[in-house]
Structures are given as structure tokens and as C-alpha cells.
Amino acid sequence: MGPLSSRLFALESRRGWTVFMGLAAMLMLVVPVLNLAVPPDSWLHVPTFWVTTLGKFLCFAMLALALDLIWGYAGILSLGHGAFFGLGGYAMGMYLMRQIGERGVYGHPELPDFMVFLDWKELPWYWFGFDHFAFAVLMAMLVPGALAFVFGWLAFRSRITGVYFSIISQAMVFAMMLAFFRNEMGFGGNNGLTDFKDLLGFDLSASTTKVGLYLASALMLGLMYLLCRYVVTSKLGRVLIAVRDAESRVRFLGYSVTRAKLFVFTLSAMLAGIAGALYVPQVGIINPGEFTPAKSIEIAIWVAVGGRGTLFGAAAGAVAVNGAKSLLTGIAPEIWLFFLGALFILVTLLMPRGLVGVVRQWRERRAIAKTSRSDSHVSA
Amino acid sequence: MVHLIRKGRSGGKILGTAALGAALLFAAAPAAAEPSEADLHAALQALDTKKFKQKAQAIEHLGTLGGPRVLEVLEALSKGRLHVRKDGRIVIAERSGKQYTVQDAASGRPEPEAGKKELKKIKVNNRLRRLIRGVTGRLALFSDDPGRRLEAADNLSKNPSPEALPLFRQARDRETDDAVRAKLEVGIAVLELEADDPALRLAAATTLAGISNPDIRSLLKRRLAADAEPNPEIREALHRAVESIDRKLWLFGIAENLLFGISLGSVLLLAAIGLAITFGVMGVINMAHGEMIMLGAYSTFMVQEIFRSVVPPELFGFYLLAALPVAFLMSAAMGVLIERGVIRFLYGRPLETLLATWGISLILQQLVRSLFGANNREVANPEWISGAVEIAGGVTVTLNRLCIILFCLAVVAALAAFIRYSRFGLNMRAVTQNRSMASSMGIRTGQVDALTFALGSGIAGVAGMALSQISNVSPNLGQNFIVDSFMVVVFGGVGSLWGTIVGAFSLGIVNKFLEPVSGAILGKIVVLVFIILFIQMRPRGLFALKGRAAGD
């Protein structure tokens, strides 16, 4: 085995790999097969709607991974991660918009409907290039990355930490929301970008395309997980954890805290951008609502519920909380906010390590009980 | 006609001078005092004719008589309430049920009710109505009530017709109220700009130079552009007048922005001052702060509803005074609940506090939404703070905005005094500066924490009461303020009350000066970006605490 593959193998314990592979098989084989191969009247059939919903949750899981990477490992709580997610989404939305071509309501070959409506004569300069898929994907990573780099550079350089960082990151996403609500920005204002037709020539309303997007999300989540795992188990990862626990000490030891934080913050923003880019074709719309501060705070609770500082937990938390959201809003919409609010309070008060922490504690206790029992057996 | 005028009781000098300059339409000046009932009676009878032309003459004639009675009769006429009774007298009749309640038109004395058959309506057409409007407008210039005179002068000088000039002059000469006279002067000057006498034109230009009204400016501009002024000297004067108006308008523009900025600043300050205590003094991030404001607003709403149903309507205006302690106590009680129930367990873990209080804010929002509905609730302005005040040259402020500025200053002063001079304030400062030392001195830090949090929350509630007077009361009320208030506190410097004050006012004023240039939303974005950049340069805000207290 080469050094890279051995490094890859060392990312997880044997059991970790088993779970990872099991989940991957479940998500990438069982679900699509149950959707596509099993006849719709069978009880085993998974409706396409569910697949798309699950795909959406997987995008949220990626977003949670991105936030956990900086919050759980570097102690940076960003309340503005929705901005990076949204920017990635807008990049993809712009590509999908250009793909509509003459099929829009106004049938303009060049301009999206809302620009025709606003009586614009030509495409703004920042829309050029977005008719190429590769360019759009690149931008979905680079634009959030660039914003995070500039924002992070300014913040970390002047040693803004803790709640101060949280508050100004919230102000950033709030400013983005105000900006994207403006029609003059050229991103569709209030309504955002929607009415998408197809992606790389595949019809977005076809169920095969939907399953394809779902598979892409699952694959991307897996890769992203391994990448984050790689980062946190590397030497840099250890520096980050040290920064989280004692920032000044790390600085005094001669490490560049600013650079370490900046790297991981920018990486996290790019991951969030990818998540947004995969999210948009599945839900079919992107609008400034993604930039509301409340949405960005919600990401933190996904991570907290799963257990911060455990990448797996963050992803699981995102799926669990959003699953509960779908379920509860379906039954009684007014209950959802009570539930979410209670979740925020109870998790921070009673389960600071999240679900993963609870499971771990339980397992440790059992292990201790076992050893003490065997000890007493030996001594007897 | 002249004969009839002489019959007017006040007669005399005014009428004499008026008669001199009278055009046909303004055959004479309306008399100030009440004409005798007999005169009125005679004049009214002339209305009993089928011919509109004669009716018009009769209306003109009534206008020359003047007096409040005439005003009332003319208004009744234009509304179709003036009738001829069977005995031939003119009466004002109003339908009530099947019968008509009747009063004598000339005297206003009530008369026995009359059936439909006894009355014949005096018909008016649109031309007559227009005429009546003109006559009543002019009559109002001579009304006893200065407010009405001001209104009339305002209306007439907005679009003065050349025929009205003598009337204006005459009204000015007998006017006692300065504000009304100033209005009349403007109307006269506008008309005299086109006078034949160059001296009059020059005087008019000088008068108008002192006015700061954009309409006057464009009028002067038009006159200059049309080359309507032959005299070069007067043309020069007109140019100077335009410049002078420009200068004044510019100054007033600045004054207006400043005033609106201070108004916005005081709203921000009210919203943020409670946060300055919980966040600044205790270091607790309370994301539910906005909901404390909302609770205050809803308390105000409830007090209002109780006043509506229980208290006699003439006392209704005082509900705000009753709402003040209610709003404070409601929010303060909720604050104690939150502090003892949740935040107490999270001291030293600010990020967790942030998340938990966010959860509280979600629950409170949904609770209020479930109890009161998601729609806006209306909180009425009591009469003593509705209306607007004009502050020189067209800068008007609504009274509730002005009250908020004063109220905000009062709250800040009271709070500062409380922290500075009260025993509790002393304890609070001690705990802020050195918790363990304060504890060693026998201060119960837990209790101080709870009460400090209650104080901050209570002030947020009071802010909610004030904000209910200028914005919608809805479950989302608090959300609109949360980012802004955090920005104010962080910008001003955490832990510094003074910083919060300066921060709020400077952000408010900057915002209002940016608005005309960039539009409201872009202005807000610019301010947010500015704060973000500013915090990079001064991470501790404008007024950073120094020394040990500044440590986290």
C-alpha cells in the first residue's frame, strides 16, 4: 500500500470503516434500488419525493460538516454559514438559469425572465461564464471561499474570537440578505432564481435525474467526510484543536493561529458552497431567504444535537433535526418552533456533547461496568 | 351692493379700504364680526330662486357679510341641507328618521320638526359648489380662530389667483397672528412678482428670499427662465433670492437628516441599552433580547385593551403611563426566569448561552404567535403624542418621534443614575469588575446576576412600549432589532454605557445621511459593512474598557 492509501485507511478505525461503508451502501445502493427497481405499488418502494428529501438532508449534512469543522475543531462559531451555502446555491442557480434559454416566459434567448421584466438590455458582467457548468461549479467553491478568506483574514488578524466573531458573522449574513433582496443586484431580488429546466441536458423533473442528484449528494457527503477527517487527523487538525482549547498558548508556542484558522475557515466555506450548489437543483429554487440569520443559527443546532467535534455526529444531527422538522411541520406547524426552541435549550443544557456524546458515555459506562464485574470475578 | 354692505355692523374703515381696491368678484371685504340677523335673513331670502345666476349673486353677497353663521349656512348649502320652509323662511334641515330636524338658517335656533312635504330643497350645481368653496375659503381668512385662518391662508397662497391680491392685502393688514401673516405675505409676494410697479416687484423678490420653500424656488426659477422680468436689478434680486433659498434648503436638509438620525439613533439606543447591560456588563449573549422588547410591546397592547374596556374614554390617553411599569415588570420577570432557569448554568460558556437563548427566543415568538395571532396588533398613539410639530422651514417631526427621543434620554439618564448612585448599582459594578473579590466582600453574586439580567430585560420591555408607538406590534418585532442592537453595543464598546449611547446616535445619524445618497437598504448594508470593518480595527469597539475588567 502506498503512503496515501495507508493514510486514507488510517482515517477511521476498523469499526469506523465498517459503519461508513455500511451507511454508504445503504444510501447509495439500497435507496436508489428501492426507488427505481421496486414497483411503485410494493411496500418496499421508496417514492422519488422521499429520495429528493433525503438528498436535501444530505446537503444539510454537508453544511453541518462544514460548520463542525470550524466550530467543533477550531472553536469558531460562525453564525453566517448560510451566506456561503447561499452563494454556492446562487452560483448553481445562475447556471441553471442560463440553461433555461428561450424557454422562459418572455422567451429571451440571452436574459433570464426577471431581467427582461426589469427591462435590462444585456447580461451583467458577473453573469458571464455561468452558461458553462464547470465554471459555475468552480464559482460555487471560489466565491464563498474568497468571501470567507477576506472576512476571515480581517477577523482573525485582529484576533476577533468567540461571540464577537459570531456576532459579526451574523451581521455579514444579514447584510448579504439585504443585498440579495435588492432587484438591482441582478440575482432576481425577492423571488430569487427558480423555474429551472435542466442540468447538463438532464431534465430536472425526471425522477432519474432526481435520483442522480441524490446519488451525487451522497457521494459528495462521503468524500467531504473523508476530507474533513483527513484535515482533523492531520498535524494541522491537532493545532486547530489546540487553538480551540488554548489559543494564546498555541500562539506563544510559535504557531500561526491566524493562518491555521484562515485555512480551515476558507475550506469550510468552500464545502458549504458545494453543499449549496447540490441543494439548489434538488429544491428547484434559491432566494434570499437562505441568508436569513435564523437559518444560519439553525445549522449550529444540527451540529450541537449530533455532537460537535465529531464529524459523524454533525452530519447525523443535520439529518435527524431536519427529519424531525419535516415530520412535525407535517403534523402541526406551530409545534415545530416550540420543539426547535426546546432543542436549543435542552441540548446546550443537558447534552453538551450531543447524541454522539450520549452514546459514547453509555458505552464507556457499560465498559467500566464490565471490567469491574470481571475484576470482582477475578478477585473472588 | 354697497348699500347692503353699509348695513354690516362692523362697517367702518376696513370695508371702506376694501371697497377701494375691489374687483367685481370681491366687491367688498367680508366683515369680521357677525352681521345682524335681519341682514342675514334678507340676504338668505335671495337664495330662494330657481335661477342659478341669481343664486350665485346671493352667495357672493353672503360672502360679503361674513361671520361664522354665514360659513355654516354656505356649508349646509353645498351639502344640500338648506331648504325653504312652507312659510317661505330659509332653514337648515337634516333628515333623522322620517322627519327632518330643522333650525333657522339666519339665527341657528332650533325649530319644530318638519315632514318632507313642508320643505323645498335649494338646489346647487357644481359651479355653485365651486363658488361656495371659494367664498368660504376667503371667509375663513377672517375667521376668529387663528388655526382656521392659518389653514385658509395656506390653501389660498398655494395657488393664488391675481384677483385675490386685494383680499390678501386686506387680510394681512388686520391680521394679528404672526404665523398667518407670514403665510399671507408669501402669497402677496408671489402675486406681486408680476405687479407693474418695479418697487413692488423688488420688494416681493426680497420677501421671497427669506422663504425656504422648494415650490417658491421653482416659481422663481421659472420666472427667471422665462425671461419674464425686464428690470435687470430685480432680475439680480431674483437670482439672489434663489441662491438664498437654496442655501436655506440645504441647511434645512442637513437639520432634517440630523433630526431623523437622532430619532433613529434613539430607537436604536432604546433597543440596545438593555443589551448593553446584559451583554456589556454581564457578558451574557442574550439572543432573546429582541423578544423582551416584543413582550414589552405586547404588554402595552394588553394594557391598552384593558383601558379600552374598563376605563372611561377620557382617561384612555393615560394607558401609556400604566403600561410603563407593566412592560418593565413583565419583561423583567421573564428575564429572571430565563436567568435562573437557563443562563445560570451556562456562565463561562458564551457560545452555548447564545444558542440556548436563541432557543428561548424561538419559543417566546411562537408562544406570542399562538396567543395573539401572527398579525400585527394595533397600538394607538394617545392623543397627547399624536400629531406633528413644525420646526422652522418645513422640517416637520411627528410628535411621537420627538417623544421617543425625550423618553430615550430619560431612560438612559435614569439608568445611569441608578447604576451610579444606588446600592444595587454599586454591587453590580463590583461584580462586573471583579467577581471573586465582590463575592469575598459578601455580595451575593448570584442574586446580583439575576437582578442585573432582570434590569436589562425590563429596560428592553420599556423600549418595547416606546417602540409600539412607532412600529407594528407583531411576533417578529424583536427579530427586527436583534442584529442592529448587537451592532450598536459591539460598535460602541462592550461594557461601556457611554459607548452604547455614542454608538447608537452615530449609527442612526450616519444611516440617515446615507439614505438620500444610496437608498435605505443600501445605506443599511454600507453601515453594516462599515461596522464589520471597524470592529476589525478596534475589536473592542469605540470605547474599550481598559485594565482587568476588559479581560474575558
C-alpha closest to that of B431 among B455, B460, B458? B455
What pLDDT shows up at residue A375? Answer: 66
Asked whether the predicted pLDDT for residue B2 surpasses 50, the reply is no
**What ipTM does the predicted assembly reach?**
0.86
> Region B131-157: what's the mean pLDDT?
74
In chain A, where the domains are located = 47-379
Name the residue among B354, B358, B537 with its Cβ closest to that of A158.
Answer: B537
How far is Cα B139 from Cα B62, in angstroms, rounded to an integer? 10
What pLDDT shows up at residue B294? Answer: 93
Do residues B346 and B356 make contact, with C-beta atoms less than 8 angstroms apart? Answer: yes
Q: Residue A297: list chain B partners with CB under 8 A.
A: 287, 355, 358
Name the residue among B350, B358, B366 with its Cβ closest to that of A162.
Answer: B350
Asked whether the predicted pLDDT for residue A352 surpasses 70, the reply is yes
What pLDDT shows up at residue B35? Answer: 66
Strand partners for B473 = B377
- Look at domain B252-550 and name its CATH class: mainly alpha
Q: What are the DSSP E strand ranges found in chain A?
A: 193-194, 198-199, 202-203, 285-286
> Region B445-455: what's the mean pLDDT?
89
Name the residue among A159, A170, A341 with its Cβ closest to that of B483.
Answer: A170
pLDDT above 70 as % of chain B: 89
What pLDDT shows up at residue B518? Answer: 78
Q: Which helix (H) or strand (E) segment is B107 a member of?
A: none
By mean pLDDT, which of A20-24, B347-351, B353-357, B450-454 is the weakest? B347-351
Asked whether the predicted pLDDT for residue B548 surpasses 50, the reply is no
What pLDDT shows up at residue B137? Answer: 74
Asked whether the predicted pLDDT for residue B391 surpasses 70, the reply is no
Asked whether the predicted pLDDT for residue B204 surpasses 70, the reply is yes
Nearest-5° Cα angle at A273, A267 to A279: 140
In the CATH scheme, what is the code of domain B172-251? 1.25.10
pLDDT-based confidence at residue A223 (cuts at 50, 70, 90): very high
Asked whether the predicted pLDDT for residue B21 surpasses 70, the reply is no
Q: Residue A159: list chain B partners with CB under 8 A.
A: 539
By mean pLDDT, which of A219-223, A264-268, B20-24, B161-165 is the weakest? B20-24
Per-residue H/E/C for B349-373: CHHHHHHHHHHHHHHHHHHHHHHHC
Question: Chain B within 8 Å of A175 (Cβ-Cβ)?
Answer: yes
A255 by Cβ neighbours in 10 Å (0-12 / 13-18 / 19+) ranks as middle
Q: Which residue has the higher pLDDT, A58 or B75?
A: A58
> Region B158-179: what's the mean pLDDT?
72
pLDDT tens digits, B95-128 = 877 788 888 877 778 888 888 778 888 888 888 8
Q: Residue B365: list chain A partners with CB under 8 A.
A: 337
Q: Residue B521: list chain A partners with CB under 8 A.
A: 178-179, 181-182
Q: Residue A343: list chain B partners with CB under 8 A.
A: 359
Give the count of beta carbons closer than 10 Å to the beta carbon of residue B435.
15
Give the count of beta carbons closer than 10 Å to the beta carbon of residue B219.
15
Give residues with Cβ within 8 angstroms of B35, minimum separation 6: B7, B8, B9, B43, B65, B66, B67, B69, B70
> Region B462-472: what's the mean pLDDT?
87
Per DSSP, A104 falls in state: S
In chain B, where the domains are located = 2-140, 172-251, 252-550
pLDDT above 70 as % of chain A: 98
Per DSSP, B32 falls in state: S
Q: How many helices (H) and strands (E) does chain B have?
A: 22, 7
What pLDDT shows up at residue A315? Answer: 92
CA distance B343 to chain A (A): 9
Q: Phi, psi at residue B308, to the nearest 5°?
A: -60, -40
Asked whether the predicted pLDDT for residue B8 surpasses 50, the reply is no
Which residue type sits at B166? Answer: P
C-alpha closest to that of B122 among B45, B36, B69, B35? B45
Asked whether the predicted pLDDT for residue B4 surpasses 60, the reply is no
Do residues B55 and B90 make contact, with C-beta atoms less than 8 angstroms apart? Answer: no
Name the residue among A300, A337, A349 with its Cβ closest to that of B362.
Answer: A337
pTM over 0.80: no
What pLDDT shows up at residue B163? Answer: 66
Question: Chain A within 8 Å of B354 (Cβ-Cβ)?
Answer: yes
Strand partners for B96 = B99
Strand partners for A286 = A193
Which residue of chain B has the CA closest to A164?
A: B490
Q: Could you give the angle at which helices B423-433 and B445-467 cross, rounded to 10 degrees?
A: 110
DSSP B198-222: HHHHHHHHHHHHT---HHHHHHHHH
Asked whether the predicted pLDDT for residue A377 surpasses 70, the reply is no
pLDDT-based confidence at residue B519 (cuts at 50, 70, 90): confident
Per DSSP, B473 falls in state: B
Give residues with Cβ within 8 angstroms of A296, minimum separation 6: A78, A79, A80, A81, A82, A83, A169, A170, A173
pLDDT tens digits, B486-516 = 888 888 887 778 888 998 999 889 888 888 7
Asked whether the predicted pLDDT for residue B28 surpasses 60, the reply is no
> Region B294-304: what's the mean pLDDT?
92
Q: Phi, psi at residue A110, to the nearest 5°?
A: -105, -50
What pLDDT shows up at residue A78? Answer: 92
Q: Which helix (H) or strand (E) segment is B291 a member of?
A: helix B289-310
Three cell numbers written together for B422: 444606588
Do residues B294 and B477 make contact, with C-beta atoms less than 8 angstroms apart? Answer: yes
pLDDT above 90 as % of chain A: 36
What pLDDT shows up at residue A274? Answer: 94
What pLDDT shows up at residue A239? Answer: 92
Asked whether the predicted pLDDT for residue B16 surpasses 60, the reply is no
pLDDT tens digits, A190-208 = 888 888 888 887 888 888 8
pLDDT tens digits, A141-174 = 999 999 999 999 988 888 888 888 888 899 899 9
> Region B336-348: what's the mean pLDDT?
89
C-alpha closest to that of B535 among A70, A162, A263? A162
Q: Please, what is the average pLDDT of chain B?
A: 79
